[in-house]
Amino acid sequence: MLDLNDFYLFVQVVDRGGFTAASRTLRTPKSTLSHRMQQLEASLGVRLLNRTSRRFGMTDVGAEFYRHAVEMLRQAETAEAIIKERVGEPSGTIRCTGGVATMQFAMSDVIADFLVNYPKVNVVVHAVDRTVDIVGENFDIAIRAHTNPLPDSNLVQRTLAPAPWFLFAGESYLKKNGEPEKPQDLRNHPSLFMMRTGVDAVWHLRHVRQSKNEEVVPLTPRLLSDDMVGLQQAAIRGLGIVALPGYICRAAVKSGKLRRVLPNWIAGDSTLTALIPYRQGLLPSVRVFLDHLAAELPKTVLM
């Protein structure tokens, strides 16, 4: 029977991107890791890893083995955690994925705080702007920022925090061009627009105290982009007014680089939601991670 420790070492080598990084993380000689992987490949009768001086990667069969290895380790971790839960604190590894901007601006500090509070838990974060097969790619949790309801699926959904959109502009821009006093004044200012499939270049503004009071502002954007970070940077450089989730611009507002425009108006609604594969027996580490996100994210995303 294969040694489960070799499965763990293989997954670590892949997750760290090679033997050198895995050796540092595991505090195990690189030669030992290489030898163990060679033994694993010999036992299986296949090559799992492509090794050259310039490139490291998995073979096709190695990628398939990796997916099963991660799942086996998770099952072993679940069994161990169920016992340890009664006598100790959560432990193990959580695999989490989410969009790049969401991870960078909403999640980074929250995850760091979680790791401080739970020293026996490790978190592997994959920040990607693509549709991820949460189950097929063996993630424990995915964070989705969305304006419309998420489609029904076999995934468990947990709402973490509302994430409203606001209008922002750079201090230099406002000093030079003046500040709009009412929504229709926005027609006289260049706009920076978040491009989304099937969405016209229009801002739908809602008054914070009068929810039925809505203003529709058609736009001719100077910059159309699906890159929130790029749009924020363009606003900081004084190129126009932008609508973005508050958590994207929170730090820039705090530092004085950006300022809220028309602060009595909301430029859109979105939500941060956690998606969890339906598995019998949720890992204690994942459970406390979800609870931590639900408690701390609202403080991060609201301005």
CATH number for 30: 1.10.10.10
Structural domain includes residue 253:
yes
Parallel, antiparallel, or unpaired: how do β-strands 141-146 and 271-276 relate?
antiparallel
- Verify that 188 and 60 share a domain, yes or no: no
Structural domain includes residue 84:
no
- Verify that 21 and 110 share a domain, yes or no: no
* Contact present, 129 and 227 (Cβ < 8 Å): no
- Verify that 249 and 290 share a domain, yes or no: no
Structural domain includes residue 73:
yes
- Verify that 56 and 134 share a domain, yes or no: no
Domain count, the chain: 3
Final residue belonging to a domain, choices 48, 79, 110: 79
- Verify that 195 and 210 share a domain, yes or no: yes
CATH number for 258: 3.40.190.290
Local structure of 28: helix, strand or coil = coil
Beta strands, E only, the chain: 49-51, 56-58, 92-98, 121-127, 141-146, 156-162, 165-170, 191-194, 202-207, 214-218, 223-225, 241-245, 258-261, 265-266, 271-276
- Verify that 53 and 8 share a domain, yes or no: yes
- Verify that 65 and 8 share a domain, yes or no: yes
- Distance, CA of 181 to CA of 178 (rounded, Å): 9
- Verify that 174 and 237 share a domain, yes or no: yes
CA distances from 232 to 125, 164, 272, 296 (A): 23, 16, 20, 24
- Verify that 62 and 147 share a domain, yes or no: no
Q: Which domain holds residue 145?
A: 89-160+271-301
Final residue belonging to a domain, choices 46, 79, 112: 79
Query: pLDDT tens string for the chain (303 positions)?
Result: 678 899 999 999 999 989 999 999 899 999 999 999 999 999 999 999 988 767 788 999 999 999 999 988 988 888 777 776 655 678 889 999 999 999 999 999 999 999 999 999 999 999 998 888 898 888 999 999 998 888 877 889 999 999 999 999 999 999 999 999 999 999 999 999 998 877 889 999 999 888 777 899 999 999 999 999 999 999 999 999 999 999 999 999 999 999 999 999 999 999 999 999 876 567 888 999 999 999 999 998 876
Final residue belonging to a domain, choices 79, 112, 138: 79
- Verify that 199 and 283 share a domain, yes or no: no
- Distance, CA of 270 to CA of 162 (rounded, Å): 6
CATH number for 98: 3.40.190.10
- Verify that 71 and 102 share a domain, yes or no: no
- Verify that 140 and 282 share a domain, yes or no: yes
- Residue 192: φ, ψ to 5°: -120, 115
Whether the full predicted model's pTM is greater than 0.85, yes or no, is no
